[in-house]
Amino acid sequence: MLTDEQITQIADELARAEQERATVPLLTARYPQMTVEDSYRVQNEWRRRGIAAGRRPVGRKIGLTSKVMQAATGISEPDYGAIFHDMVYENGAVIEHSRFSNVRIEVELAFKLGKPLQGPHVTVFDVLDATDYVIPALEILSSRIEMSGRTIVDTISDNAAMGAMVYGGNPVRPQDVDLRWISALLYRNEAIEESGVAAAVLNHPAMGVAWLANKLSAHDDGLDAGELILAGSFTRPMWVHPGDTVLCDYSEMGTVTCRFS
C-alpha cells in the first residue's frame, strides 16, 4: 500500500490536472505497487477536499458495469465515484466543453433513493423497494489521467472518470416498468451513434446499485435516502467536441439533450 504522503501527492497532482484541464501520466506506471484500496483512498481524499471547500455531495456513479464498457476500456470490473451538486445539469443545458478533459458521453439510468441502502447483503429487490423513481441520464466522462493503458486503479483514483451528468425525460417508479427493457438511441448532431438496452448493465440496472451498496459496506459506507445513483452505461462512450449537440431518446421515458459550447 502507498503511504499517506504518496496519497496526498497523487491527490494534489489530480487536483492540478482538473484545474488546468490537463492529464497526468498513468499512476500505475509510476506506482506499480498501488492497489485498488489505495486508489479509493485517493478518491476519498478528493471527495473530502470537495466537501471541505463547500461542494455538496448528491450521489454516486457506477462505472464499467456492462460488457460494452469493459470492452471499450479493457477493464473487467466495476468501479464507483462521487457526484457533487455542481456536476449536475438539467435537460437542455449548454455545457462548457473546456471544463473537461477527454470528453465522452454515456447513456444511463439514474436511481433516486427514497430509503437508505446499507450492505453487505443488498439485493436487486432491496434496491427497487428503496427507489423513489428512475430517470434517464447522460454521464459526461472526463479523464484526468492518461487514457492509454489505464487499469482499474487509475480510473478509481480519477473519481471513475466522472465529469458531470445531465438528467431529463420522464421519471418512472421502478415497479411500473421492466427496467431491463429500457432502450435508448444516442444521437450526435442528428446522426445516431449508439444504441443499447438497460439489461446490459449486469442483467438489470438495479444490480449496479446493489453492487455499489455492497461495495461501499466494505469501506464502512452506504447509500443515503435522497441520493442520486448513476447505475452504469449500456452503450459505448461517445466522443463529443465543442459545438456538438447530443440527444438521447429513451422512447416512453422521453429524451435527454445538451449542447457543448
Cα 128 to the center of its chain, rounded Å: 20
Rounded to whole angstroms, how far apart are CA atoms 180 and 37?
32
Residue 219: the pLDDT is 79
- pLDDT (0 to 100) of residue 151: 87
What is the pLDDT at residue 183?
Answer: 97
Low-confidence stretches of the chain (pLDDT beneath 70): 65-76
Residues 11 and 44: their CA atoms lie apart, in Å, by 9
Identify the pLDDT of residue 69. 58
Residue 176: what pLDDT?
95
Cell numbers of 52, please? 471541505
pLDDT, tens digit, for every residue of 198-209? 999 989 999 999
* pLDDT at residue 79, rounded to an integer: 87
Instruction: Output b/e per residue, 203-216; b: 16+ Cβ within 10 A.
Output: ebbbbbbbbbbbbb
3-state secondary structure the chain: CCCHHHHHHHHHHHHHHHHHCCCECCHHHHCCCCCHHHHHHHHHHHHHHHHHCCCCEEEEEEECCEHHHHHHHCCCCCEEEEEEHHHEEECCEEECHHHCCCCEEEEEEEEEECCCECCCCCCHHHHHHHEEEEEEEEEEECCCECCCCCCHHHHHHCHHHEEEEEECCCCECHHHCCHHHCEEEEEECCEEEEEEEHHHECCCHHHHHHHHHHHHHCCCCCECCCCEEECCCCCCCEECCCCCEEEEECHHHCEEEEEEC
Residue 220 confidence (pLDDT): 86
Reported as a single tens digit per residue, the pLDDT across 145-185 is 998 888 889 999 999 999 999 999 999 999 999 999 999 99
- Closest by Cα among 40, 25, 33 to 2: 33
Report the pLDDT value the prediction gives residue 34, as an integer from 0 to 100.
Answer: 94
Q: What is the pLDDT of residue 164?
A: 98
Q: What integer pLDDT is reported at residue 74 of this predicted model?
A: 61
